[in-house]
Chain A
Amino acid sequence: MSESLGVTPAQTVGPYLHIGLSWPDGPYVVPEGTPEAFWLRGRIVDGTGAAVVDAMVESWQADPDGRFDHPDDPRGARPSTVPGFRGFGRAETDTEGRYALHTVRPGPLPTFDGDTEAPHLTLSVFGRGLLHRLVTRVYFPGEAANATDPVLRTVDPQRRDTLLARPATDGFQFDIRLQGEHETVFFAV
């Protein structure tokens, strides 16, 4: 294998990210009307508690069977049994720092060492003032598998609840605190 090349450094999306990154269908991981679909909603706040109004959240997840339509899934790429399932969502924050994604609950995942990962979404957060994306995960309340999830287990128990969504009227709530008290756990991936 050749000498590895240096990666291109990350830079902020800046305050005008909406020009380039807004998609009309961005929030729809699954189409409207999909059975069992829900809204994952949240608010992003900074270290002063102020709403982050110029950020964007992207999500990536397995389908309800725990499968990816991707050639690097060693179980084989498989189109989802959920029609229109994209696995990917993208939503900008509004003037109150709120984002919303329309999705379905992913299935649990096997790991390379025989463990099971609890159902989760992975999120990237981009924004003005963020020189590189922040990565976090969303877990679901009441999942028995959370107790043995190999990633949750590595997180300081005092901070684990920052990765848990809360039930809400039309789905789940997952707030993101960039800094300070109850700071969301962010990952180096």
Chain B
Amino acid sequence: MTQDAERRLILPSYRRDDVDAHPPLLSPGYRSTVVRAPQQPLTYLPQRLTEVTGPLLGEGRLGELDHDLTRQHDGEPLGQRIIVHGRVVDGDGRAVPHTLVEIWQANAAGRYRHAADTWPAPLDPNFTGVGRALTDADGRYHFVTVQPGAYPWRNHDNAWRPAHIHFSLFGRAFTQRLVTQMYFPGDPLFSQDPIFNSVRDEQARQRMVARYDHAATRPEWALAYEFDIVLRGREATVFEDEDDDE
């Protein structure tokens, strides 16, 4: 670090998301947003040291079988075994290596192992529905799990959530933190789901839908889905175009 750079504190900067990239916080079709979405406009926060750094959580958080949700109990869970894999990249297509990926999901019957989920579908004693993985040097992650079922909720008349897996990602900076849901291609429940449709841009919505991956499907063992996740990309350094006296 040169003295000059030290004085000027050159920080990376992350591109701000397009207006339509994420769902509006107030999306009245999803009823609970009505009392939870802020009413005041968000205040612009410049990206400073706190925002361009972030937790780099490593191996210490992972158990040996955290990436395989079908091997966390004495027996195998019921349901269609699937492989879910993909890359975590930034907006410039660069790999996000060694970053923690956390997932959680309902079981094959559409029931979550959670005290608040009481709809009459069976729990599976061999399925918890939690996974964790670190991406490798190329940003790749890999889970084995079962296809989650759809489940009803009380948002609107005869409301059902399309099958989905929750994903939580850190990236390498606070600005890149993302929690999303992965959906399955061709789900007939998309049309009536206000959470999926809260993302207004059709192309952006499709970025939440995994691709059936026949090449990665393993014969006589498991179907595969590929789900790449794109976190924010970086701009050039803040001061690169500023005049200086060098």
CB-based contact A13/B35 at 8 Å: no
CB-based contact A112/B238 at 8 Å: yes
A-side contacts of B233, CB under 8 Å: 4-5
CB-based contact A178/B36 at 8 Å: yes
Considering residues B10, B36, B42, B51, which has the most beta carbons from chain A within 10 angstroms of its beta carbon? B36
By secondary structure, the A interface counts as loop
Q: How many residues of B contact A (CB 8 A)?
A: 88
B-side contacts of A1, CB under 8 Å: 92, 236
55-74 of chain B: CB within 8 A of chain A: 55-57, 61
B-side contacts of A62, CB under 8 Å: 49-50
In whole angstroms, how far apart are the Cα atoms of A10 and B23 in the complex? 7
Residues A154 and B43 in contact in the complex (CB < 8 Å), given A7-B17, A61-B50: yes
CB-based contact A88/B11 at 8 Å: no
Q: How far is the CB of B242 from chain A (nearest CB, A)?
A: 10
How many A-B residue pairs lie within 8 Å, measured between CB atoms?
Answer: 246
Considering residues B15, B55, B168, B239, which has the most beta carbons from chain A within 10 angstroms of its beta carbon? B55
- A interface, CB within 8 angstroms of B: 1-2, 4-21, 23, 46-48, 50, 52, 54, 58, 60-62, 68-70, 72-76, 86-88, 109-112, 117, 120, 122, 124, 126-135, 137, 150-151, 154-155, 159, 178-180, 183-189
- B interface, CB within 8 angstroms of A: 1, 5-6, 8-12, 15-18, 21-25, 27, 30, 32-40, 42-57, 61, 89, 91-93, 102-104, 112-114, 116-117, 128-131, 166, 168, 172-175, 177-181, 195, 198-199, 203-205, 207-208, 229-233, 236, 238-239
4 tightest Cβ-Cβ pairs between the two chains A and B: A20-B104, A129-B32, A88-B55, A187-B45
